[in-house]
Amino acid sequence: MSNSDAAPGDSTLQAWQREVQRREDALTTARDAYLFARLALVAHQIRTFPTTNGVDLTAAAQIDLEITYTEAGSPRAGLNLVMAADDTVLADWHPQEGAADLLPIEEAVADGLHACVANGLPSSAALSLPPADTLPPPVPEGLRIDPATPEGLAITSLWEELAEIEKRAGDWNGGDVVDVLGCWFASLGYSTNT
């Protein structure tokens, strides 16, 4: 049944459509966060990889991928190049002077790249890596929510905004807190114009 097949005023259908859209948005947010975390892990593995010829990979800023498909139709990622931000080749299948051999690097990151592709990584050839100073968000000890979920991320971002108010003003200024809460509720889809 499509949206146009519903009887006008079918509030149950509309409620389920909103719930499906909310869950789809949550899945998209979670998938994007997962892909970023996976790519940050791959980037760290590449940048810290001990090459056999001593090439320093800490400047790795982009990779070139080749997406292929298995007989079953599953996408697979192959690593073709590791490059610096200025397109200097740092690792290649046929390394020239100053470049590392790509084979052992690809073996080290293959699972991570395959997981990215299987979870919707766009199949563009050139892919920028997250910056080297990217760290996973800290999970405060004793936290009773999972900040990796969309709900946990929303709560954590609210907490960070409130902590910033306290840092700036020395306390939770009532007007600023109300403004932050209003924006936060609106970002979750609640109407705050009452």
Structure tokens at 57: 């990979």
Cβ pair 79, 57 in contact under 8 A: no
Ranges under pLDDT 70 in the chain: 1-8, 123-125, 137-139, 192-194
Q: What is the pLDDT of residues 141-193, one digit of tens each?
A: 777 887 777 788 788 888 888 888 888 888 887 888 888 888 888 888 887 66
The whole-angstrom separation of Cα 88 and Cα 99 is: 9
Q: Note whether residue 147 is domain-resident.
A: yes
Q: Note whether residue 90 is domain-resident.
A: yes
Clarify whether residues 47 and 118 are in a common domain: yes
| pLDDT reported for residue 31 | 83
Of the residues 128, 159, 178, which one is the last residue of a structural domain? 128
| pLDDT reported for residue 104 | 92
Clarify whether residues 31 and 116 are in a common domain: yes
Q: Note whether residue 36 is domain-resident.
A: yes
The whole-angstrom separation of Cα 28 and Cα 5 is: 26
CA–CA–CA angle 112, 49, 76 (5° rounding): 25
Clarify whether residues 86 and 149 are in a common domain: no
Clarify whether residues 154 and 90 are in a common domain: no
Residue 13 main-chain phi, psi, to 5 deg: -60, -45
Clarify whether residues 54 and 102 are in a common domain: yes
Clarify whether residues 122 and 168 are in a common domain: no
Distances (CA, A) of 140 to 128, 137, 148, 170, 177: 30, 9, 13, 21, 22
Of the residues 128, 148, 181, which one is the last residue of a structural domain? 128
The whole-angstrom separation of Cα 105 and Cα 45 is: 8
pTM of the full structure: 0.65
Structure tokens at 62: 């982009």
Q: Note whether residue 105 is domain-resident.
A: yes
Q: Note whether residue 2 is domain-resident.
A: no
The whole-angstrom separation of Cα 89 and Cα 176 is: 49
- Domain that includes residue 62, residue range: 11-128
Indicate the residue type of 171. Answer: D
Cβ pair 76, 68 in contact under 8 A: yes
List of E strands, the chain: 60-69, 75-84, 89-92, 100-101, 126-128
